[in-house]
A and B are shown apart, each in its own frame.
Chain A
Amino acid sequence: MTTPNPLTNTISGNRGLQIEEPLIFEMDAPGRSGVDLPAVPQHKERLGGLKRKSEVGLPGLGESQVVRHYTKLSQKNYAIDMSVYPLGSCTMKHNPRLNEKIARLNGIADLHPMQPVSTVQGALEVIDTLAHWLKTLTGMPAVAMSPAAGAHGELCGMLTIRAAHLAKGNARKRILVPESAHGTNPATAASIGYEVDPVPADDRGRVDLAAFKAKLGPDVAGTMITNPNTCGLFENDIIDIADAVHGAGGYFYCDGANFNAIVGRVRPGDLGVDAMHINLHKTFSTPHGGGGPGAGPVVLSEALAPYAPLPYVTHGKNGFDLVEQDDSGKAFGRLKGFHGQMGMFTRALSYILSHGADGLRQVSGDAVLNANYLQASLRGDLSAAFPGTCMHEALFNDDFLEGTNVTTLDFAKAMIDEGYHPMTMYFPLVVHGALLMEPTETESKTDLDRYIEVVQGLARRAKGGDATYFQGAPYHTPRRRLDETLAARQPILRWKPEQAKKAAE
């Protein structure tokens, strides 16, 4: 990697704090390992033909080298702890440090999932209390806590729906999914054998109710709808949709990825939802995107509750019990080893209890306010995809780039140079060249104003005819524009010593 201007080339190839760091495997060299093991004494070989024929291939390095290596890599990261992370639909909100402190308490962090139930009463109470909050906030009577992430929650909800149909003798065939859905929705339905029938959006960016009703029939097992949807809009026909699908004998799965926009204000149970996953790593501030696993508990209606997967916590005679066996024969099975993402439960409960019901209501209010502030501020320079206000995220199309020779992708790359993680791009698919921005409630007005100023400036620069600048971006990153096409067509999935040797020649 060379700097474009030879006058500023450095001898090392480094540029200030941007260090050209090799892979840790490439740093391997004999004698560097920080641990000295005694020579293996004479012994009788007992491995038969299984004796190792070559090196294990793990790099040998000293502790200081390892620490420096990972510290240097961490400096190349972009993180929510550094700046605005406007990735729409991902809800990159601040992860409060209080959550981390609680999750690290010895009494919680040192538990083992196979300890006797009598010794983990506190942990079971955490699960039970969180379950109580999730049921109360959604107005639903039951919750399956074990799903490990959003899409896993979808799988849980859809398997529950299928189990309920099977109990009546017929799993049915089709699932109706709006075109604006998260890609995981049709993937989930298809992966358990359902045929996905897409429902078009109307010109207001919502589910076309007439088209939806026309697709209903006795072979429809249910529908999967995100509300608020991926266009950042509230599906205001949602009760009619729920009634219609129930009328046809189907169930209503709600993708709860955007629950953060309505928490404390709308209870999905009141809208006719039968199953909904809740991304604890979105709405309830637990880390995600490399910072930690997700967690996707699924709330269930009365009709679906009997089919929920194991295990679950109950209030027994001597405290909390964990139900690991299903005597009714209705539960569809287990989704995950042990009880779910315990570390995330603890963080989410910490977040919920520190906010309280009124605080959570303010969370959704502020998230929607911030998104609308963003949308209103950028309306003049960008092109809003739909008229009117939005919920928790602001969606723009690429009309404002028409005739500039700048694409949404170029625009995103230029944002990297400005020190921002780009917004979500080209999603949802129903909007041309989509730019989807979600500020979340945790951004201050000052930080939002700075972000808005940058996006406005870039839009004006694009319209001013500076296409070459955008097409060349990013300029200030450790690597310039990556060849995404080549990476997808000829992926190199694993580092191999031979390849490294070849590249060096």
Chain B
Amino acid sequence: MSGIRFAKDHEWVKVEGDIATVGISPYAQEQLGDVVFVDLPAIGKKVEKGKELAVVESVKAASEVYAPVSGEVVGVNEALGDAPGTVNEDALGKGWFAKVKMSNKAELDALMDEAAYKTFCEGLH
């Protein structure tokens, strides 16, 4: 496994031990357009796979970012507060949203690897 996995709602996950770093995919940021605001969860918040983790607002729309895995939020990317455009510039890197301590690592199996996600996006539009 190349280390990065994707949900069909266009979030990505990178795993180190129990900790999943979550962001939105380059495809998602491209579709959203310029990101102008990111509403991040509070540290300590319990999140459930498929439920709202954060909100991302662009010049076009405000969209929910769903948690691709369940667990507890143990870190958020505070830097996005002053520089939400980082999500556009480096979606897979410095534009990460939150770190989640996973409660069920088996949930990762349902996510797509990079190749499968690429095929998935090509089928969308």
Contact = CB atoms under 8 A, between A and B. Distances in A.
Interface string A181-213: 001000000000000000000000000000000
A429 B59 contact: no
A489 B125 CA distance: 29
Interface in A165-191: 183
A488 B61 contact: no
Contacts of B85: 485, 489
B45 interface: no
A185 to B, nearest CB: 14
Contacts of B116: none
B37 interface: yes
A320 interface: no
Contacts of B60: 426
Interface in A415-429: 426-427, 429
B61 A489 contact: no
B63 to A, nearest CB: 8
Chain A interface size, under 10 / 10 to 19 / 20 to 34 / 35 or more: under 10
Interface in A460-486: 484-485
Contact of A426 (B36, B57, B61): B61
B62 A489 contact: no
B62 A488 contact: no
Nearest to A427: B61
Contact of A485 (B36, B61, B62, B125): B36
Contacts of B125: 432
A429 B61 contact: yes
A484 B37 CA distance: 13
12 contacts: A427-B61, A429-B61, A429-B63, A484-B59, A485-B34, A485-B36, A485-B85, A488-B36, A488-B37, A488-B57, A488-B59, A489-B85
Interface of A: 183, 426-427, 429, 432, 484-485, 488-489
Given A426-B60, A485-B59, A488-B37, 18 more contacts: A183-B62, A426-B61, A427-B61, A429-B61, A429-B63, A432-B125, A484-B34, A484-B59, A485-B34, A485-B36, A485-B85, A488-B34, A488-B36, A488-B57, A488-B59, A489-B36, A489-B84, A489-B85
What 3 pairs across the A-B complex have the smallest Cβ distances?
A488-B36, A485-B34, A426-B60
